[in-house]
Chain A
Amino acid sequence: MLLALFFVGPALWALYSSLTNLALVGIDAANPRFVGLDNYTRLFADPDFWTVIRNSVTFVVGSAVIGQFGLGLALALLIDHAEHRRWWLGTLAYGAVLLAWVNPTLIAGFLWVAMYDFFFGSLNHVFLSSLGASSVDWIGSFPMPAVIVANIWRGTAFTMIIFLGALKTIPPDIYEAARIDGANAWRRFWDHTLPSLRPIAALALLSITMSTFGTFIVIQTLTNGGPGNATEVIALFAFHTAFKSFSIGYGSAIAVVMLGLNFAFAIAYLRWSRARA
């Protein structure tokens, strides 16, 4: 009887989660129009769709790969370095980055709305004018970079934490041996630190790519896909088509595509991490 209790627990949640995801199939099938694969063919023919894909890729590359991953790595290295020398500013930086991440996503969105606002935003009003430059319409003229920066602000902590953890697992003996063997600081970094991080770096990259792929809130609050559809990423696209235009079927098709892509990534991720372990 007790064992049954234990079975119930996992069974329940398995039911939940699978429902929320497999419901997709149900929705598609229950679509009143029963158009089958029509939605998909229409989707792939739609030029907007490809724009959206391109946007998404740009966004992910800019935000996740260069920004969050690169910055996270750089920060982790610097903070680790600082920790060895007991520079407290490093700990402060660590806390600051973390703070940006812990807060609800919505806050991140709004804070950057305030920063970017054309007439009164902090960036223009406080910083640029004190430097003597004129205001820039960030969101209007540079929508993608603006959104990317905001997302980097929010998301860097994740990779930073991962890399910091990985850095701590490198045995310090290695560095001492390298010092005695004759390697200077730069060589030690290049020959030992980076290669040791490589396995975890791959995982982190995959992970952050996957999650950035689905960013929604930050972009929605800042630009809502605009101007035009300059920053419309796939998540927004699905949302708009499904709820604004009320073509649920079409929206579901997009969601399926998203899930499919995500699935592919996830498989790669799991395969890789299994191989590593």
Chain B
Amino acid sequence: MARVEYDDVSKRFPTQDRPAVDHLGLDVANGEFLVLLGPSGCGKTTALRMLAGLEYPDSGDILIDGRSVVRLEPKDRDVALVFQSYALYPHMSVRDNIQYPLRVRKQLTAMERLSKVDRVADLLGIRQLLPRRPAQLSGGEQQRVALARAIVREPRVFLMDEPLSNLDAKLRTHTRTELKALQKQLGVTTIFVTHDQAEAMTMGDRIAVLDAGKLQQLGTPDNVYQRPANLFVAQFIGSPPMNIVDARRDGGALVLTGGWRVEAPRGLAGSDGIKVGLRPESIDLERAPASGAQPAEVLVSEPLGSEVIVNVKLGDALLKIRTGPDVRPDPGTPVYLRARPGGVRVFDASSGAALN
């Protein structure tokens, strides 16, 4: 149960040109589940490792509960880390793996340790695995053991480095919900690293989106989805990704590629080069011409069972539109597009920053 702060943290590895982490500032509230999200190489794992004590920042500070921890050894920081590879000790049984952190700290008797291990094992449903060795376990089981080892210490902060990425898809979604429920139950501040935006959206209380070492946006999943702070976030979050097209201003309207006129959102700051973003679900599709609806041509429809993604050509842009399961126009069919007013997001073409 602790607050975590990153205070203007930067780090550059000697072999690289640009910083791995670039002036990162972040606050994590007590008991919060914060997700560090971003593509590979964006610095999220480095940031996590700095909190764990496995890397040292070049500048800036990291605080837990208001106290700086950068000078402390990992073992003195009272954080637990679940590795992407699980890092289970191969030469020890599962039970010994889990009780290792307790044994090292020498505070409990053997009896007390073992009962703690049993309790955690019950919590995760791995009691029967205790006498086995890591090599004998499946991926999912190994992951739980890694979790157990982290939980048994009752640390102030949980750190997780893409713990689900080595699991197969079905197990991954299942474990996602379990993990989230577990975290809520234990109430420990957790920082979770992933490159999977769906994972971030479902699990995080808040998401910190990083790219190239810089924090792009910090906000709730809702925030990040509906009001992305820049082009990067807009395109990274959401599947299928947000449609981005070039546009220009024309009075109170925006003219998109292909000549589509859309009402400009109120209070829009002026700027010349702009791009407009529309999520697939923010575009309505009509079969018949109607006033104000922009004609376009269907390229292909992708039925997904509960919905259909219609790929549409407009000017030289390809738009993806989400529709109900019965709307499935054939290629070449003309359709008519209408943008939902709340869904128009405008970005500065050069900086990528959101303008509304």
Chain B binds chain A: yes
Quick one: which of B141-192 are within 8 Å of A by CB? 149, 153
Residue B111 at the chain A interface, CB threshold 8 Å? no
Inter-chain contacts of B75 with A (CB < 8 A): 179-184
Distance of A181 Cα from B52 Cα, bound (Å):
11
Q: Are A180 and B104 in contact (CB under 8 A)?
A: no
Inter-chain contacts of A180 with B (CB < 8 A): 52-54, 74-75, 79-81
Pick the residue among B91, B104, B153 that contacts A196 (CB under 8 A).
Answer: B91
Residue A173 at the chain B interface, CB threshold 8 Å? yes
Q: How far is the CB of A269 from chain B (nearest CB, A)?
A: 22
Q: Are B83 and A173 in contact (CB under 8 A)?
A: yes
Residue of B at shortest CB range from A194? B91
Inter-chain contacts of A184 with B (CB < 8 A): 75
Q: Are B101 and A181 in contact (CB under 8 A)?
A: yes
Quick one: which of B58-75 are within 8 Å of A by CB? 73-75
Residue A174 at the chain B interface, CB threshold 8 Å? yes
Pick the residue among B52, B83, B90, B104 that contacts A182 (CB under 8 A).
Answer: B104
Inter-chain contacts of A173 with B (CB < 8 A): 83, 85, 87
Q: How far is the CB of B313 from chain A (nearest CB, A)?
A: 49
Residue of A at shortest CB range from B153? A181
Quick one: which of A143-195 are within 8 Å of B by CB? 171, 173-174, 176-184, 187, 191-192, 195
Residue of B at shortest CB range from A179? B74
Distance of A177 Cα from B104 Cα, bound (Å):
12
Q: How far is the CB of A114 from chain B (nearest CB, A)?
A: 46
Inter-chain contacts of B153 with A (CB < 8 A): 181
Residue B105 at the chain A interface, CB threshold 8 Å? yes
Q: How far is the CB of A275 from chain B (nearest CB, A)?
A: 15
Inter-chain contacts of B52 with A (CB < 8 A): 180
Q: How far is the CB of A73 from chain B (nearest CB, A)?
A: 17
Distance of A177 Cα from B146 Cα, bound (Å):
10
Contact with A along B95-123 (1 / 0, CB 8 A): 00000110011000000000000000000
Q: Are B89 and A192 in contact (CB under 8 A)?
A: yes
Q: Are A176 and B104 in contact (CB under 8 A)?
A: no
Residue of B at shortest CB range from A195? B91
Q: Are B83 and A177 in contact (CB under 8 A)?
A: yes
Q: How far is the CB of B210 from chain A (nearest CB, A)?
A: 22
Inter-chain contacts of B87 with A (CB < 8 A): 171, 173-174, 176-177
Inter-chain contacts of A196 with B (CB < 8 A): 90-91
Inter-chain contacts of B83 with A (CB < 8 A): 173, 176-177
Contact with A along B37-67 (1 / 0, CB 8 A): 0000000000000001110000000000000
Residue of B at shortest CB range from A182? B75
Q: How far is the CB of A168 from chain B (nearest CB, A)?
A: 15
Report if A177-B90 is in contact (Cβ < 8 Å); known contacts: A182-B75, A183-B75, A184-B75.
no
Pick the residue among B73, B79, B81 that contacts A177 (CB under 8 A).
Answer: B81
Distance of A168 Cα from B74 Cα, bound (Å):
23
Inter-chain contacts of A182 with B (CB < 8 A): 74-75, 101, 104-105
Q: Are B53 and A179 in contact (CB under 8 A)?
A: yes
Q: How far is the CB of A240 from chain B (nearest CB, A)?
A: 47
Inter-chain contacts of A183 with B (CB < 8 A): 75, 100, 104
Distance of A180 Cα from B79 Cα, bound (Å):
7
Distance of A97 Cα from B272 Cα, bound (Å):
71
Q: Are A181 and B149 in contact (CB under 8 A)?
A: yes
Q: How far is the CB of A182 from chain B (nearest CB, A)?
A: 4
Pick the residue among A174, A179, A187 that contacts B73 (CB under 8 A).
Answer: A179
Q: How far is the CB of A84 from chain B (nearest CB, A)?
A: 14
Inter-chain contacts of A192 with B (CB < 8 A): 89, 91
Inter-chain contacts of B80 with A (CB < 8 A): 180
Q: Are B104 and A187 in contact (CB under 8 A)?
A: yes
Q: How far is the CB of A162 from chain B (nearest CB, A)?
A: 18
Distance of A116 Cα from B52 Cα, bound (Å):
56
Inter-chain contacts of B54 with A (CB < 8 A): 176, 179-180
Q: Chain A CB within 10 Å — which of B85, B104, B105 has the most?
A: B104
Distance of A16 Cα from B105 Cα, bound (Å):
61
Q: Are B73 and A181 in contact (CB under 8 A)?
A: no
Interface positions of B (Cβ within 8 A of A): 52-54, 73-75, 79-81, 83, 85, 87-92, 100-101, 104-105, 149, 153
Interface positions of A (Cβ within 8 A of B): 171, 173-174, 176-184, 187, 191-192, 195-196, 198
Further pairs besides A181-B153, A196-B91: 15, Cβ < 8 Å: A171-B87, A174-B89, A180-B54, A180-B81, A181-B100, A181-B149, A182-B74, A182-B101, A182-B104, A182-B105, A183-B104, A187-B104, A191-B89, A191-B100, A198-B91
Q: What are the nearest 5 A-B pairs in CB distance?
A: A173-B87, A182-B75, A181-B101, A177-B87, A195-B91
| A–B pairs, 8, beta carbons within 8 Å | A174-B89, A177-B89, A179-B75, A180-B53, A181-B100, A181-B149, A182-B74, A182-B105
